[in-house]
């Protein structure tokens, strides 16, 4: 394997594997997805799609490697592979080179992320079989939030239950880490002391970032908590959940809260913010209002956790593109000195604030794959 080769980044989900390749200077070379695993299948690289059967994750990863080879990026050109792993639990709080012990720790976290970690491991194990000499690394979506104080992560439940891993972890950590890392390049300014990150997409969360570290975030034990999302309910009273379990059983309740709620449930069928903004029905308007209202409610909480606010950053599909949603949220934060530049907002920034604003407002594009590649490169160069 080359010492100055490319880095392959893999993000394995339940029915897809997203991938990207970066050169040794962290410039993107190509990206794509293998999707519909187990239900047909296709591989897409830089917009070119080829349908082919993908019976499982092993077949999908082999198809990805084959597609990359046809683009001149064979295994012999790779220096390392780097994986997004959703849950690192308490112990995996930094990017790591994968070995048997780390793999066992990721597997031990699978009960905390049963829809994610097993698929992350499937990609790790398959690549180890195909290319056993290739160095593999992992970056964790929970890791950025391990700097949260105990008072922010501990639920008020008996300690015996807490020791089973029932605590607030937080997610979207790679997005927030890339926000911090790319801030000077995007804004031309140094990182502010008190930054409120808005990761708004189908999954949505906020993060209070003080002096570059997460001190509070809206997602908790799972990615279900916090804001109204595309299909997830966001925060809901635990007794209401128990009532749903009584009425529908456990598995059906999981489906309702994770896949049938949020914008989808409120609007009666639309989870995509772009479609909701084009639909002027009462239900669609209410869904958008609900999304913005609860985003603002949580924003106030995180501003209090930081004891003030110096800057705001929007990222994610909605955060980077939904002009009206950003405007509604920023209007709701005028009480703390936010003043939006409407023309800049319509241009999608990157700077969104007016000269009179006491708080800086920016769009900072999500660069999770780049962050994962940077983590791996840092570890390679430190070895």
205 & 332 share domain: yes
Which pLDDT belongs to residue 41? 94
74 & 220 share domain: no
33 & 89 share domain: yes
Q: Answer whether residue 192 is part of any domain.
A: yes
39 & 93 share domain: yes
| 82-126 residue pLDDT tens | 999 999 999 999 999 999 999 999 999 998 888 789 999 999 999
**Last residue of some domain: 140, 169, 197?**
140
Burial class (CB in 10 A: 0-12, 13-18, 19+), 31: middle
Which pLDDT belongs to residue 3? 57
Whole-number percent of the chain with pLDDT over 70: 99
Residue pointed to by tokens 């990761």? 199
136 & 192 share domain: no
Rounded to the nearest 5 degrees, what angle is found at the Cα of 350, between the Cα atoms of 347 and 352?
Answer: 75
219 & 290 share domain: yes
Q: Answer whether residue 161 is part of any domain.
A: no
* Mean pLDDT of the region 235-239: 98
Q: Answer whether residue 165 is part of any domain.
A: no
Burial class (CB in 10 A: 0-12, 13-18, 19+), 129: exposed
* Mean pLDDT of the region 135-152: 97
State the pLDDT confidence band at 382, using cuts at 50, 70 and 90.
very high
| 148-173 residue pLDDT tens | 999 999 999 999 999 999 999 999 99
Are the C-beta atoms of 222 and 258 separated by less than 8 Å? no
Q: What is the CATH number of the domain that holds 213?
A: 3.30.420.40
- For residue 365, is pLDDT > 90? yes
- For residue 313, is pLDDT > 50? yes
Q: Answer whether residue 321 is part of any domain.
A: yes
Which pLDDT belongs to residue 1? 41
270 & 351 share domain: yes
Cα–Cα dist 127/21, whole Å? 15
Asked if 141 is an active-site residue, the reply is yes
| Three-state secondary structure call for residue 363 | strand
192 & 133 share domain: no
Side by side, the strands of the sheet bearing 16-22 are: 48-51, 42-45, 28-35, 16-22, 6-12, 78-85, 135-140, 96-97
Cα–Cα dist 261/271, whole Å? 9
Which pLDDT belongs to residue 383? 82
40 & 111 share domain: yes
Which pLDDT belongs to residue 2? 45
Which pLDDT belongs to residue 23? 97
Mean of per-residue pLDDT scores for the chain: 96
Q: Answer whether residue 156 is part of any domain.
A: no
Tokens describing residue 97: 């080179």
H-helix segments, 109-156: 117-130, 150-153
203 & 76 share domain: no
* Mean pLDDT of the region 63-87: 96
Residue 172 to residues 18, 320, 365, Cα–Cα distance (Å)? 16, 15, 13
H-helix segments, the chain: 57-70, 100-108, 117-130, 150-153, 159-162, 173-187, 238-248, 250-259, 262-267, 273-278, 282-306, 316-321, 323-331, 342-346, 368-382
Q: Answer whether residue 77 is part of any domain.
A: yes
- Which residue among 3, 125, 141, 310 is the active-site one? 141
225 & 121 share domain: no
Residue pointed to by tokens 């995180």? 302
Which pLDDT belongs to residue 303? 98
The H helix count followed by the E strand count for the chain is 15, 13
Name the residue range of residue 197's domain.
185-363
Q: Answer whether residue 153 is part of any domain.
A: no
Q: How many domains does the chain have?
A: 2
Sign of the dihedral through C-alpha 159, 172, 141, 181? negative
Q: Answer whether residue 160 is part of any domain.
A: no
Helix H or strand E segment including 51? strand 48-51
261 & 340 share domain: yes
Sign of the dihedral through C-alpha 116, 274, 180, 217? negative
pTM of the model: 0.95
């Amino acid at each position: 394997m080359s010492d100055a080769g490319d880095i392959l980044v893999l993000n394995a989900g339940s029915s897809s594997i997203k991938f990207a390749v970066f050169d040794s200077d962290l410039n993107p070379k190509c990206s794509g997805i293998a999707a519909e695993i187990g239900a047909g299948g296709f591989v897409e690289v830089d917009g070119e799609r080829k349908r082919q059967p993908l019976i499982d994750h092993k077949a999908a990863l082999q198809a990805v490697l084959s597609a990359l080879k046809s683009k001149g990026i064979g295994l012999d050109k790779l220096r390392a592979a780097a994986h997004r792993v959703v849950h690192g639990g308490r112990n995996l709080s930094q990017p790591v080179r994968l070995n048997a012990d780390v793999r066992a720790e990721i597997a031990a976290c699978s009960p905390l992320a049963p829809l994610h970690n097993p698929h992350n491991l499937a990609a790790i194990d398959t690549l180890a079989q195909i290319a056993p000499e290739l160095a593999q690394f992992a970056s964790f979506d929970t890791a950025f939030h391990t700097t949260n104080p105990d008072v922010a992560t501990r639920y008020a439940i008996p300690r015996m239950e807490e020791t089973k891993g029932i605590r607030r972890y937080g997610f979207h950590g790679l997005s927030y880490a890339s926000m911090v890392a790319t801030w000077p390049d995007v804004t031309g300014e140094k990182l502010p002391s008190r930054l409120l990150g808005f990761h708004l997409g189908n999954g949505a969360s906020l993060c209070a970032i003080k002096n570059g570290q997460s001190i509070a975030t809206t997602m908790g034990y799972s990615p279900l908590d916090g804001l109204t999302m595309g299909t997830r309910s966001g925060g809901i009273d635990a007794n209401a959940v128990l009532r749903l379990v009584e009425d529908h059983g456990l598995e059906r309740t999981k489906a309702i809260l994770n896949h049938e709620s949020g914008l989808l449930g409120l609007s009666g069928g639309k989870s995509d913010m772009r479609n909701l903004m084009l639909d002027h029905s009462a239900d669609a308007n209410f869904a958008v209002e609900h999304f913005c209202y609860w985003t603002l409610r949580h924003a106030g909480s995180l501003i209090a956790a930081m004891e003030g606010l110096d800057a705001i950053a929007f990222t994610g599909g909605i955060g980077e593109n939904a002009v009206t949603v950003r405007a509604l949220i920023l209007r709701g934060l005028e009480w703390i000195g936010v003043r939006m530049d409407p023309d800049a907002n319509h241009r999608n920034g990157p700077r969104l604030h007016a000269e009179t604003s006491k708080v800086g407002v920016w769009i900072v594009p999500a660069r999770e794959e780049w962050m994962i590649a940077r983590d791996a490169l840092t570890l390679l160069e430190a070895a």
